[in-house]
Structure 1
C-alpha cells in the first residue's frame, strides 16, 4: 500500500510552507546562510558539553523526501564534533545532540556522520528541538543540519555527555508465553498485511484482524495447549452490504468495540474514508459516513468507548451505547470527529493540535472507561505526548511526558479499568520505553526502558493494551543490534516480536521474546514513508488487544517467512498476517489468574515404639506454582506441629512427615491442614484439610 499524501513521504507530516520556504517577512531572502559558530567542538568525560549556532537559513532542502539528503551551498551546515571518552564510559553515559530554533513553524533535520561520512544517527522529524541519542564512542563526527523549512531561522546546537538514568529492576513475575498463528495461505491477501489492526469482541470471544482490504475473524479453542484457531475471511464487500468495500484504499484501519462486538473497517479516501460496520461478526456490513466533515487526509484511526459526562450534547442518537471517534492527520493539524449513532454518521472534525504544538503522525485513538479520549503523538516539542479530550471530543489539550524524547514510530496508549494510562514509545535512542499517568496525562511517572534486560537497542511499532488498572502489556518489534536501523546497506540486525507486561501498575515489567526462533525481519526496517525501498514491507504500525479473559493478542505482519526464518536465511520482505496470542501466565485480568490449589491427598498414622507418627501427601492440583507452603498437624483440635515451608510446582506433590506423638487411650481425631494461615491464594480454598480417626 502506498499513500500519495505528504505524510507518507516523511516520517512525520510537514508544514505546508515549503513553497515559500525562501520567503522571510514577505521578501525573498538574499543573504547567505551563516556557517556554524564555532565550527567545531569537543566533549569528554572532563568537559561534557559544547554548543554552537548557525544561520539564518533561507533556502529549503527537501532532497530527503526522495532519497538521501543532497547538500550544497546554503543547503546544509556542518559542525565538527570530537568525542573523547575512556573505556567503559558508555556503560553509564550517552551522547545527546540537540538542535533547536525559535519559530515552531520552521523545521530542521539533523544527522550524525562518522569519520567516513556514514550516517550513524538521525532525527528527521517535525520536532523542535531535534534530538539524537547515541553511545559516547570516542571519535570524530559531523553534526549535519539540514534546513527542511527554515523560514529564515537560526539554530542552536548542543552536544552533551549525559548520565543514563538507572532503570528499575525487571519484574519477578512469571513471564507469560505466546503462540503464533498465521492466516491461511488460501486467503488472497494473507501475505499483504502490513500495518494491521486487531480487536477482540468480549461478547463472543472472536478476534478480528484488519489489513489492506481484508477483515479476518479468528475463533479460539482453548481446550488444548496450545490453543487451536479457526480463521474466516469476513471482509466487507458489496455482496455483503458494504458497497465501498474491497476495492480501494490509501490506508486501512480496523476497530472492534469490545463491549458491543461491533466491528469497523475503514479505508482512507482523502478527507474521509470508505467505512462500514458489522454487528454480526462480518456476515453482513452496514455503510458509514466514513468520517467527519473536514477530516484530515492521512493516517486515520477509529476507536470508541463510553460517553464522557462532560460532553456537550454527547448523548447517543441511536440504540448504540458508545461514542465512536474518527481521528486523522491534515497538512497543518490533526483532528477528531465523534459519532453519536454508532459510527453511522459523524459530526464535524475538531482540531486536536496544530504543527505549532506537535508534528509527526499520531497513534491510535483510545477511550477510557470514564469517556476521556486519548490520541498519542511521537513529537510534541521534542517529547512524546497525548492529545486529551475530557468532554467527548469538543476540546483538546496536549499533555507531554517531559522525560521522553521524540521517536520515529507512532506511540501507543493502553488504559486500565480505573483510568491509568500507559504510554509506550520508541525513544530517540531507539529503545522501547513506557511511562504511566494517573491524572489523564498531566503528569507522568515510572518512565523506563523495558528492553534493557534483554539488551534491545532498536524498536519499532509500539502497541499497548491494558486490563485491570495495574496491568498492561507493551508489544513491539525489536532487535539487540544497535546503530541506524534504517540503513538498508549496512544494518544487519535480526528483529523479533517482544511483549513487556506489568502486574504492579508500571513499577516493573517482565519482557519476553515471543518469536525467539522465528525472526520477524532481517536487516533494516524503514519508517520513513514512500522514500523507503523494499524494507518498508511492514509499513507503519501494528496493533494489540486483550480478549475477554485478559489474554494479550498482538496483530502483526511477519516480514521474514519460509527460508528467511531459517538460520542464516535471507530476508524476503514478506508481510504475512499473524497473531501472537498469550498462551500461559497471568493475564491482564486478575480474575482469570492461574492459581495453585493445595490439598492433602493421603493421610496415614503409624505406631512406632509407642508413638503415633502422621504422614500426608500434599498435592498442587492447580495451574500455578505455590511458594512457602506449610502443613499443620492437629490432634483433637490441638496444634501439634507445623512443617517447614516448601515450594510446590503445579501438578506436583510432596510428602510431609510429622514427629511421633503420644496418645492416651480412646479415639482421637488426627487432622492435617495445608496452608493453615491462608497465605497462598488458591483456586479452591475448601479442600485444604484431611482427617482420620485413630483408636488406641
Structure 2
C-alpha cells in the first residue's frame, strides 16, 4: 500500500512534535482568554486603502485544519475573526489586488489565515509556516471574514493589515519564438504503477542519452530517437529491486526522488523511510543497481532530496575517497531543523548531517538541492520570513547561509533553482498571489536582478509545482502546472470548471525576458482544483506535491509530470478532480520533451547551411553572365546572404539576398564586361563567413570559360 502522504507537507509540524517545537520558543503559559481582534471590523476602498488590527495573545493551539482542511472554530479562542468590508469601483481589479498580511514576533510560533466570503466559502488561505502569512486576492466589492487561526501560538499576539495595492505591470514578453513540446505518456502495461506517478522526478545522462523517470517505487528509462520528427520514445522498466542489486528496492516509500549526475551518468533512486532513505544507484541506466547508506545522520523525517556536482575549491577537508569525481548531497527536513549530508565516495556512504536552517530562520519546506559548476550548493526554501530564499553552501556543505530573495513571497509551492554553465542562478517560485515568478542572481544568491512574474503572455493566474533548469548561462526554463482561471485554486466548489496545463517559460537573454509555451494545449493535466494541503485534501490530491524538469545533452528540455486527466476526461469538461470518475483523478507517468525551437545549449541551435549548388557562366554580347543556384539546406533561416563571383582574382559581381528560408533555393545572375582569353570563375556564398553554418565547406564553386 502506498504510504506517500508527505507528513510535514500535509502536517507542517506534526502534532507529536509540538512539544519539541515549544522548547525552542519557551513553554506555553496561561495567558488567560485571548482577546478578540481589535478593532473587530474595518473598510478598505479606493480612497482609503488600508486597515490594521491585532489579536491575542493566544495560548491554545488549533491544529484541526490538519485533519479537516479548514479549522474547527467551535472552541473558545480557537479562531479570531475580523470583518473586512471592501468597496472598489468597476474595473479596479484589473490593476490592483487585495493583500492581507498577518505577522507575529516569535518566529517559532505559527498562525494560519483564511479569507471567507459572505457565504462562508474560503476564497483565499495561507496555511504554511511563513511569517508573515500573506493572502493576495482580487479586490472584489463585498464583505469578507479574515480568520486568523493559532496553529502554534506560543502565547503570541498577531498584527494584521489589509490593503489595496497596485499590481506591478507585467514585463513585456520576449521576442524569441517559444519552443514547442510533445507529450510522451508511458505505454500502458509498462508496470502496475504507471498510473500512480504522483511526484515524479527526472534526470538525463549526457553520456548515454538516456532519460530516467522516477515515481513511487518505479524507475523508467526513456530513449528518444531524434532521427524522426517528432522524436520516437522507447520506455522500459528499470526499477531497483533485489534481483538487480538493490536489496532495499521496491519495498516501501514515504517519498520518491531521483537524481542523475549529467556528467557521470550516475543515477540515484531514493525512497524516504521516515529516518534517512532506502537508496541505490546505477551507472548503467538501471541495468544494475548498487546499495547506498541512504543519507547522513542526523537527517530529517521528510522530503528528501539528492543532488551532486563538482567539488567547491572552498571545501573544508572534503576530497573524493573513491574514483568518483563529484560530491553528492543528501538533504532532508525535520521538525525544527533541516540537514544536508555530503558523500565523498560517489553516494555509497554519507557523512554526518549538517544543519542548514532551523525554524528560527525558515519555516517553509525546502525544494531540491542543486550543485553549480563551481561547486556551490543551493537549497531553495519557500518561506524564510516574508520571502522565499536560497540556502547556500560555498564550502562543500560544511556550512550554510540563508539568502532571501527580495520581492518574492511565500506560498504553498516549493521553489526551485537552476544554475547556468557559468554560475548564473535562476530562482523559480510561485508567489502568494498564485502566479509563477523568477529572479536571477549573478553572485551566488547574494543579490538578485530581473525579478518578475511569468506566464502573463498566456494569461496565467494560478500555478503550482514550479521547477527550474538552466543550460547555457543565458538560457533557462521554468516548468509548472498552471491555469488561466483566477481565484482560490484549492476551492473544490469554485474551481470545478478550471483547466490546468503544463506550461514552460524560457529565457534566451539571461532572464531579462521570457516566452511561454503550453506543452499540453489539447490535453489538460487536471480539471477542477489542485490541492496543495497534503492529507487534508480530498480527491484532488492525485498530483501530490511536485513535478520535475531536466535538460538532455543536446539542450532539449524534458519535464516529468503526472497527467491527472486521461481518457474521457480529456474532452469531457464535466469530469473533474473533485467528484469525477477515475479518469479525472489519474496520475499517469508522462514526459513532455522539447520538439522545436532553440534549446538550452546554443551549440546545438539549428543552423543554416548555405551551398552554391550550380554555377554556369555564358558570354552574352560583350558581357559574361553568371547564373548561380543558391540553397539553404540547413534548419535555420539565413539573413543578408551575400553571393559574389570573381573573374580570376578580381571580384566582378556581388548581390545580397535579404533572407533564405530552410530548404529554400533561389537563382541569381551577375553580369560584367567580358574580356578575351581563358577565364577562371569563382562563385562564393557568404564570402566573409558572417553566417554560422552547419557546414562551411560547400559555399564555393569554380568553373572555367573562354571568350
- Tell me the CA shift for residue 643 of structure 1: 3.7
- Tell me the CA shift for residue 188 of structure 1: 1.4
Partner secondary structure for residue 563 of structure 1:
helix
- Other-structure match for 1:46: 47
| Deviates further, 664-673 or 550-559 | 664-673
- Other-structure match for 1:651: 663
- Tell me the CA shift for residue 615 of structure 1: 4.1
- Other-structure match for 1:355: 359
- Other-structure match for 1:70: 72
Match of 1:510 among 486, 508, 515: 515
Match of 2:233 among 229, 233, 254: 229
Partner secondary structure for residue 361 of structure 1:
coil
- Mapped pair 1:483 → 2:495: no
Quote the Cα distance in structure 2 between the aligned partners of 1:668 and 1:201: 56
- Tell me the CA shift for residue 113 of structure 1: 1.9
- Tell me the CA shift for residue 610 of structure 1: 5.2
Q: 1:54 to 1:238 in 2, by over 3 A?
A: same
Partner secondary structure for residue 591 of structure 1:
helix
The Cα offsets for residues 403-455 of structure 1, whole Å up to 9 and x where unpaired, read as 10111111111111111111111111111111111111111111111211000
> Any stretches of 5+ residues in structure 1 without a counterpart?
none
- Other-structure match for 1:395: 399
- Tell me the CA shift for residue 260 of structure 1: 1.5
- Mapped pair 1:532 → 2:532: no
Q: 1:540 to 1:25 in 2, by over 3 A?
A: closer
Quote the Cα distance in structure 1 between the aligned partners of 2:44 and 2:16: 34
Quote the Cα distance in structure 2 between the aligned partners of 1:230 and 1:460: 29
Q: Retained in 2: the 8 A contact 1:336–1:393?
A: yes
Q: Retained in 1: the 8 A contact 2:276–2:300?
A: yes
Q: 1:688 to 1:214 in 2, by over 3 A?
A: same
Quote the Cα distance in structure 2 between the aligned partners of 1:412 and 1:26: 35
Q: 1:567 to 1:602 in 2, by over 3 A?
A: farther
Q: Retained in 2: the 8 A contact 1:14–1:126?
A: no
Q: Retained in 1: the 8 A contact 2:206–2:552?
A: yes
| Deviates further, 77-86 or 457-466 | 77-86
- Mapped pair 1:588 → 2:600: yes
Quote the Cα distance in structure 2 between the aligned partners of 1:143 and 1:592: 53
Quote the Cα distance in structure 1 between the aligned partners of 2:330 and 2:664: 52
- Other-structure match for 1:276: 280
- Tell me the CA shift for residue 114 of structure 1: 2.1
- Mapped pair 1:682 → 2:693: yes
The Cα offsets for residues 11-57 of structure 1, whole Å up to 9 and x where unpaired, read as 67789436997999756425222222222233333332222222222
- Mapped pair 1:213 → 2:212: no
The Cα offsets for residues 488-545 of structure 1, whole Å up to 9 and x where unpaired, read as 2220211111121111111111210111111111111111111111211111111111
Q: Retained in 2: the 8 A contact 1:13–1:361?
A: no
- Mapped pair 1:306 → 2:307: no
Partner secondary structure for residue 17 of structure 1:
helix
Quote the Cα distance in structure 2 between the aligned partners of 1:672 and 1:46: 74
- Tell me the CA shift for residue 216 of structure 1: 0.9
- Tell me the CA shift for residue 605 of structure 1: 4.8
The Cα offsets for residues 582-610 of structure 1, whole Å up to 9 and x where unpaired, read as 12222211111111112232334566675
- Tell me the CA shift for residue 657 of structure 1: 4.5
Match of 1:121 among 104, 121, 124: 124
- Other-structure match for 1:196: 200
Partner secondary structure for residue 258 of structure 1:
coil
Q: 1:316 to 1:42 in 2, by over 3 A?
A: same
Partner secondary structure for residue 7 of structure 1:
helix
Partner secondary structure for residue 444 of structure 2:
coil
Q: 1:493 to 1:665 in 2, by over 3 A?
A: same
- Other-structure match for 2:32: 31
- Mapped pair 1:159 → 2:170: no
Partner secondary structure for residue 622 of structure 1:
coil
- Mapped pair 1:140 → 2:143: yes
- Other-structure match for 1:261: 265
Quote the Cα distance in structure 2 between the aligned partners of 1:27 and 1:450: 43
Partner secondary structure for residue 210 of structure 1:
strand
Match of 1:438 among 420, 437, 442: 442
| Deviates further, 173-182 or 423-432 | 173-182
- Other-structure match for 1:555: 560
Quote the Cα distance in structure 1 between the aligned partners of 2:19 and 2:520: 43
Match of 1:90 among 90, 93, 113: 93
Q: How many residues align?
A: 695
Quote the Cα distance in structure 2 between the aligned partners of 1:626 and 1:23: 65
Quote the Cα distance in structure 1 between the aligned partners of 2:25 and 2:693: 72
TM-score by length of 1: 0.95
TM-score by length of 2: 0.93
Quote the Cα distance in structure 1 between the aligned partners of 2:705 and 2:139: 76
Q: Retained in 2: the 8 A contact 1:7–1:14?
A: no
Quote the Cα distance in structure 2 between the aligned partners of 1:89 and 1:176: 35
- Tell me the CA shift for residue 568 of structure 1: 3.0
Quote the Cα distance in structure 1 between the aligned partners of 2:3 and 2:252: 11
- Mapped pair 1:106 → 2:117: no
1:168-187 to 2 correspondences below 5 Å: 168-186=171-189, 187=191
Q: Retained in 2: the 8 A contact 1:22–1:29?
A: no
Quote the Cα distance in structure 2 between the aligned partners of 1:495 and 1:88: 26
The Cα offsets for residues 277-303 of structure 1, whole Å up to 9 and x where unpaired, read as 122222222211111112100111111
Quote the Cα distance in structure 2 between the aligned partners of 1:267 and 1:669: 72
Q: Retained in 2: the 8 A contact 1:183–1:231?
A: yes
Q: Retained in 2: the 8 A contact 1:108–1:149?
A: yes
